[in-house]
Structure 1
Amino acid sequence: MKKSLIAMAVFAACASGTAAADTLLSGLGGDRGFGTRIMEPNDDESSERLALPFQINFFGNAYNNYWVNNNGNISFSGPLEDFTPALFPISQAAMIAPYWADVDTRNQVDNLPNPFMNNVYLANPDSKTVVVTWDTVGYYNQHNDKQNTFQLVLRDQSATSGRAGDFDMEFRYGQLQWTTGDASDGSNGVGGQPAVAGWNAGAVTNSYSLIGSGTQNVVGLVNDSNVGTDGVWRFQVRSEELPGSAPYNPILPGNIDDGTAGWVFENIPVGTGTPVWIDPIVATGYDYAISNGPLVNGVTLLPGVGDGRYDIWLWQGGEWQLFAGDVAGGEHIEFGQSVDKFRVTGIETSAEVNPLSPVAFSTGLWFDSIGNATVTQTALTVEVSPVPEPATYGMLGAGLAVLAMARRRRRG
């Protein structure tokens, strides 16, 4: 239950976001096609302990049971009533949160064309899939003038990977119109401490907040994607592959930038010996700058974009100096020094990579020490005639499909 309600000035309402109608999984039975209603209308409550149809290895912790929490997440060590979100990592509990915010489903009357809306549903369509749906839910205190609809999908991938506990998690967004409940310093569903999407497994290296989390821009998840379908986000949980360890599972920007300063990847955990892959939009080249944390001493770039060859520049003596020309994508290029700024050029306009197109260009950054770094990646563009988006790009290694290069809208 809420302990306090903080009065505040009225904020402008968030622009509503609505994804394609096929974003949500449906046809799962029940009143709304989302399965069984898992709890009565409530504020801050949770389901009973539920059995997973398959065991998951959640970054080193094996779980067979879980709780569905009204406030937009599932947890594994017990029910979770926390209604004010925080950017991950946090110490409270292991959780997966498609949209952690102050959900209130008690108002079953106002603004609902269907009496079974504003509820939380659960479906297990087969032995390898769990689907939790927060359907047209309102926000505290009993408001539903703005409504959010989103899903969490867990898929067992142990048969595919050959490792017990491997799974995928999908966040699916049908509609996002509010970010904040009244007791989280919100007013009219916005302001205060906005929703957070992502997961928390108890450590910096295996916890992650999606783009826009903790800001009003979190509603942009409904019109964005890392797999090519607006409103759908898919992440692989593999025992040896944390986000950022491969180009098909990269670290995404921590906020939605307006395009004037590039993409900001804040406080990402880095180490030595392996690259950390980050992923913004593409253009003819990029500037990279490290504002804090370990410095960069090498880079790996993608093959198959244009002719797959690039020029690398280092910032030295107050100007750009060519370090290596015509280097091949897929190779680890060592700088022989640690730098806080470098540039990559050489993406041909003939490759038809539209600077305004939301097609990803993953970059593997090699760091000189262990720590947390903040990286800014700024696109270099040229004036060209409008061109279509390229259909495919190359592979980093045999068998590695670069899924991260699927369509994403331009952020901003």
Structure 2
Amino acid sequence: MKESWQFEDMKHKSIENNSSLGWIAAMGFCMTLVASNAQAIPLLTFDSLDNGGFGDLAMLPNDDRSSSLLDLPFDINFFGNVYHNFWVNNNGNITFEGPVGSFTPSPFPISSNPMIAPFWGDVDTRCGSCGSVFVGAPNSSTVMVTWNNVGYYPADSSLTNNFQLILHDQGSGNFDIDFRYDRLEWTTGNASGGIGGLGGTPAQAGFDAGNFVDFFTLPGSRTGAVLDLQNTTNVAGGENGLWSFAIRSGLVPGSTPDNPLLPVIQDDGFNFDFNVNLNQTVFIDPDVATGYEYFVDSGPNFASVLVPSALPNGDGTFELIVDGVTYDLFAGTVFNFASINPLGFDHFSIAGIDTHEMLNPLDPFAFVTGLTFVDSGVVSMRQVPVITAVPEPETYAMFLAGLGLLGFIARCRKNILA
């Protein structure tokens, strides 16, 4: 039976020897898309075809091992801590305070060791067809870690996953996180209760601050639906399988109006899944229509709403409808649902966004909404756009673009590397 390692003790385990990334960054390779048998977005590679174009081996074939301590070619500010180095862990993640060998994902937040995990599951690369883990720095502002066609424990390649983590420097400690899922076929190793790569405790994707408070978990994590990450995206205009997050001043998207949380674009509207703490404001930002309906599908109810700024050509007054009653909603003023119902509400709507506003659907800050919730917990919510009038054809085309009917164009994130 496979022995489970404690998360906190990983920094004391022996690790494979591997060189730093500094010399790779100095070479300044360009990156290109390479076609594959992808069900979703292709992975990025170097121009060089050594090791499939993914850089250097992060570690030899193994189960539950990690790389040596690697240098970042740039500093990152992750939840207020500045890091210069990191470890690549075989089981689908990187960490900053020590290597981690845990193969069954515990729900975030889990440890004082910060983690970024595109797919934390029981990767096993010991068989000849079980794939490999690679790491490279294509230039001085990019780090790329690739789990290329990796199998699962025990050394099984009947199903394989092909995914990637990319860190992109934005200066002054700011950086972007990209997860790219080319192919996801298995969720679970046998030692995590899985049979044939499925069932048991499935993989988890997201990131953990290491402070036991702040974290973000991607939809479907620790369920069989984690495989759907290859079929969805949170990037307007991005290909399915691309997930991107901007870390600014050490904070994750949703922490400030300047860096709102972007939704997963689905047929039933703009879907958001995130953790919330009591009295914490989360800023979200979809494209803009003439109004929006807000739904909590699971988790604590809405406690308040804030529209931080007036629209360019408006007076900053909107209509807020809750429980069948219409109230005035003023930009820059918090509307407290608890004053109506101490339990809050799981549904409300905002109306009164005039078509003559001509809001640019490519503007990520057009209608940033701040929300608080009546309790702590994991929130799954939707923001559904509403069109209450048919504008002139040119304006209507802009609204259709905002709803995805003409296709999305990336507005906040790059889906190629600079």
Counterpart position of 1:229: 238
Q: Deviation of residue 251 (structure 1)?
A: 3.8
**Alignment correspondent of 2:75:** 55
The aligned runs of 1:78-157 (5 Å cut-off) are 78-91=98-111, 93-109=113-129, 118-157=131-170
How is 1:199-238 mapped onto 2 (pairs within 5 angstroms)?
199-203=207-211, 205-227=213-235, 228-230=237-239, 231-238=241-248
2:382 aligned to which of 356, 377, 383: 377
* Alignment partner, residue 321 of structure 1: 325
Per the alignment, residue 68 of structure 1 pairs with: 88
- 1:214 partner letter: R
1:57/1:289 CA distance change after superposition, 3 Å: closer
The structure 2 residue matched to 1:178, chosen from 181, 186, 191, is: 186
How far does residue 121 in structure 1 lie from its aligned partner after superposition? 0.9
Q: Is the 8 A contact 2:296 2:302 kept in 1?
A: no
Aligned to 1:345: 351
Residue 284 (structure 2) aligns with: 278
**2:276 is the counterpart of 1:268:** yes
Q: CA–CA distance in 1 between the matches of 2:381 and 2:107?
A: 20
SS of 2:99 mapped into structure 1: coil
Q: Give, in angstroms, the shift of residue 68 of structure 1.
A: 0.8
1:335 corresponds to: 335
Residue 269 of structure 1: CA displacement?
A: 2.5
For 2:198 and 2:72, locate their aligned partners in 1 and report how far apart those are by CA, in whole Å.
Answer: 34
Q: Percent identity?
A: 38
Task: Count the aligned residue pairs.
Answer: 357
Does the 8 Å CA contact 1:251/1:278 hold for their aligned counterparts?
A: yes
**Alpha carbons 1:43, 1:70 under 8 Å: kept:** yes
AA matched with 1:177: E
CA deviation profile, 1:126-157 (whole Å, cap 9, x unmatched): 22211111101111111112111111111222
Give the superposed CA RMSD: 4.1
2:41 corresponds, among 6, 13, 20, to 20
CA shift at 1:378, angstroms? 5.7
Residues 293 and 402 of structure 1: CA distance in aligned 2, closer, same or farther (over 3 Å): same
TM-superposed deviation, 1:90? 0.8
Mapped partners of 1:147, 1:87: distance in 2: 23
Pair 373,105 (structure 1): closer, same or farther in 2 beyond 3 Å: closer
How far residue 53 of structure 1 moved from its aligned partner, in angstroms, is 1.6
Residue 3 of structure 2 is matched in structure 1 by 3
Which of the pair has the greater relative contact order for Cα pairs under 8 Å at 6+ separation? 1
Give the Cα separation in 1 of the matches to 2:163 and 2:243: 11
Residue 403 of structure 1 aligns to a residue in which SS? coil
Alpha carbons 1:285, 1:346 under 8 Å: kept: no
Q: Structure 1 unaligned runs (5+)?
A: 5-15, 110-116, 354-358, 394-400, 407-412
**What one-letter code is carried by the residue in structure 1 that aligns with 2:208?**
N
Is the 1:121–1:133 Cα contact (8 Å) retained in structure 2? yes
SS of the residue corresponding to residue 45 of structure 1 reads: coil
Judge conservation of contact 1:168–1:234 (CA < 8 Å) in 2.
yes
Taking a change above 3 Å as real, the CA distance of residues 130 and 405 of structure 1, as seen in their structure-2 partners, is closer
Residue 270 of structure 1 deviates from its aligned partner by 4.9
Q: Report the secondary structure of 1:222's partner residue.
A: helix
Query: Where does structure 2 lack aligned partners over 5 or more consecutive residues?
Result: 5-36, 391-395, 403-409
The TM-score normalised by the length of structure 1 is: 0.72
Distance change in 2, residues 1:169/1:336 (3 Å): closer
Distance 1:188 1:351 in 2: 55
Query: Greater CA deviation, 289-298 or 74-83?
Result: 289-298
Q: Which residue of 1 aligns with 2:294?
A: 287
Partner of 1:242: 252
Which deviates further from its counterpart, 376-385 or 30-39? 376-385
Distance 2:358 2:102 in 1: 47
Provide the TM-score with structure 2 as the length reference.
Answer: 0.71
Change (3 A) 1:256 1:46: farther
Structure 2 partner of 1:197: 205
In structure 2, distance between residues paired with 1:213 and 1:323: 38
1:150 touches 1:173 (CA, 8 Å); kept in 2? Answer: yes
1:93 Cα deviation from its structure 2 partner: 2.1
Task: Tell me, yes or no, if the aligned pair for 2:74 and 2:140 is still in contact at 8 Å.
Answer: yes
Q: Hey, what's the Cα distance between the residues in 1 that align with 2:95 and 2:414?
A: 31
Correspondence for 2:369: 364
Q: How far off its partner does 1:303 sit?
A: 7.1
Instruction: Tell whether the 8 Å contact from 2:76 to 2:84 is kept in structure 1 after alignment.
Output: yes
Verify the 8 A CA contact 2:302 2:337 in the aligned structure 1.
Answer: no
Shift of 1:188: 1.6
With 365-374 and 38-47 compared, the bigger mean Cα shift is at 365-374
1:148-167 correspondence to structure 2 within 5 Å: 148-158=161-171, 163=172, 165-167=173-175
- On the 8 A contact 1:248/1:402 being kept in 2, the answer is no
1:113 maps to none
| TM-fit CA distance, 1:345 | 3.2
Cα distance in 1 between the residues matched to 2:221 and 2:313:
34
Spell out, residue by residue over 1:373-411, the C-alpha distance to the aligned partner (whole angstroms, 9 max, x if none). Answer: 7463363768999x8775877xxxxxxx962899xxxxx
Aligned to 2:407: none
Q: Secondary structure at the match of 1:146?
A: strand
Q: Is the 8 A contact 1:179 1:191 kept in 2?
A: yes
Amino acid at match of 1:334: V
Q: CA deviation at 1:282?
A: 7.5
- CA–CA distance in 1 between the matches of 2:383 and 2:175? 33
